[in-house]
Amino acid sequence: MEINDRGRLALGGCDLVDLAETYDTPLYAYDEAALRAACRRYRDALAGAWDDGLVVYAAKAFLVLAMARLVAEEDLGLDVVSGGELHTALRAGFPPERIYFHGNNKAPWELAAALEHGVGRVVVDNLDELALLSKLAGGRDRPAPIALRVTPGVEADTHAHLRTGHNDSKFGLRLSTGEAYRAVELALDEPGLDLVGLHAHIGSQIMDLAPFTAAARTMVAVAAEVRRHTGWTPAELNLGGGLGVPYLPGERAPTPEDFVATVALAVGEACDGAGLPRPRLVLEPGRSIVAPAAVALYRVGAVRELNGDRVMVAVDGGMADNPRPTLYGARYQVVPAGRPRDPAAVSTTVVGRYCESGDVLARNVPLPRLQRGEVVAFLAAGAYQVAMASNYNRFPRPAVVFCCGGRSRLVQARETLDDLLARDRL
């Protein structure tokens, strides 16, 4: 937590009360140097642990043009999951060969766009998509480089909505049914496709490294098995993202360095044990790059005293700009931006302004007595908030700024009331 010489909360050298004044609230403010530092930490950690590796930022966590450009400048790859994310990346000048196109039900037009722009990998999720892509890719000059997403059958200890590696997952080709092996055979037979590697992603907000080790070992075993059957050796192994971040004081998560070293060790040992050449290693962190780098700023409106010396305050945002508490029971550290060091005085529940009882951003947090008009900051707000924001109740979505060296710049304007009407027709 950065506190400036006025005793107020700051980010990238910018005073957060001033930012709220300048840009209005709700506001998402990102520390640009922290974003770049997080990209570099991952890149350096992988370069130190593995000969040939690539860190691919998972755009679904947060993507605007400025973020796509920053990721390109930091030499990372980009994981996109839709024609919209792809379009954003390309408009930002992101090199297509470093784009990985994911998704469990890509539309024909999205696959066609991926082929037309020459994305680095289409990560094929299922047999149906493999057939569709084969058809679209047939007859082109160059075979399309693909990877196959495999469901490794690994259970990660995280919220049920954030698990993707188990056998009932809606993502990927199952090992348990033999589907994954069948997909390899089919892909190798397709002249329009160039099967480069295998992919797995076990889930998100994972605070323990053991499931990553398990998934790495499983995937190397799959690679070895595939080689025995087909003679094909994956040149690339992509083990996805999923590293958790601390949201509350006292929570601890493994560092990106721990995560990278653990995965690299597991893949290295398993490859050596199986007599498999070491593949290019790809990792796809999203949350752990962007979550810690941003705060969400709200202004306090209605204050209500509750029985038992509890207080409820309503802020000018809520579940439409941050659905995570409602969807996953996510919890946050809340700080009064103008007086971060003031001692807690009362148990406070922070609710949003949307017409829904579940619109509670933080429950029973010890805080100073908040006043109408004061600015509160939710910390570690950089991942899956702006990205998941909606227009519920027809509220305009918040503005987003990047802060660096005490200066701020708007990277996504606040929606206007007319923006809300732009797609309506009478």
Binding mask 255-284 for ligand LLP (x = CB under 6 A): -----------------------------x
**Residue 223 interacts with ligand LLP (CB under 6 A): yes or no:** no
Burial degree of 109 (CB within 10 A; 0-12, 13-18, 19+) = exposed
Task: Note if 355 is an active site residue.
Answer: yes
In 183-293 the beta strands, taken as DSSP E runs, fall at 193-199, 236-238, 280-283
**Residue 19 interacts with ligand LLP (CB under 6 A): yes or no:** no
Number of residues that bind ligand LLP (CB under 6 A): 21
Among 8, 43, 98, 102, binds ligand LLP (CB under 6 A): 102
Measured from the CB of residue 108, what is the shortest distance to ligand LLP in angstroms?
21
Catalytic residue among 14, 39, 271, 355: 355
Stretch that binds ligand LLP, among 44-52, 65-73, 198-206, 339-347 (CB under 6 A): 198-206
**Residue 286 interacts with ligand LLP (CB under 6 A): yes or no:** yes
90/227 Cα distance (integer angstroms): 35
* Smaller CB separation from ligand LLP, 134 or 204: 204
Reported as type and span, the H/E element at residue 266 is: helix 256-274
CA dihedral of residues 267, 268, 270, 276 (deg, nearest 10): 110
Interface of this chain with ligand LLP, residues 322 to 341, rule: CB under 6 A = 324, 328
Number of helical H runs and strand E runs in the chain? 12, 21
Measured from the CB of residue 251, what is the shortest distance to ligand LLP in angstroms?
15
Among 242, 292, 325, 338, binds ligand LLP (CB under 6 A): 242
247/407 Cα distance (integer angstroms): 26
Measured from the CB of residue 27, what is the shortest distance to ligand LLP in angstroms?
19
Counting every residue written for the chain, the total comes to 426
- The phi and psi torsions of 168 (rounded to 5 degrees) equal -95, 5
Q: Would you call the peptide bond into 336 cis, given omega within 30 degrees of 0 as the criterion?
A: no
**Residue 374 interacts with ligand LLP (CB under 6 A): yes or no:** no
Q: Which two three-digit tokens encode residue 33?
A: 């140097």
Alpha helices by DSSP H, 32-126 = 32-49, 65-73, 83-91, 108-117
61/163 Cα distance (integer angstroms): 16
Interface of this chain with ligand LLP, residues 115 to 174, rule: CB under 6 A = 162
Measured from the CB of residue 115, what is the shortest distance to ligand LLP in angstroms?
20
Among 181, 332, 384, 402, binds ligand LLP (CB under 6 A): 384
* Smaller CB separation from ligand LLP, 23 or 101: 101
* SS3 of residue 386 by DSSP: helix
Binding-site ranges for ligand LLP (CB under 6 A): 58, 60-61, 79, 102, 162, 201, 204-205, 240-243, 284-288, 324, 328, 384
Active site members: 355
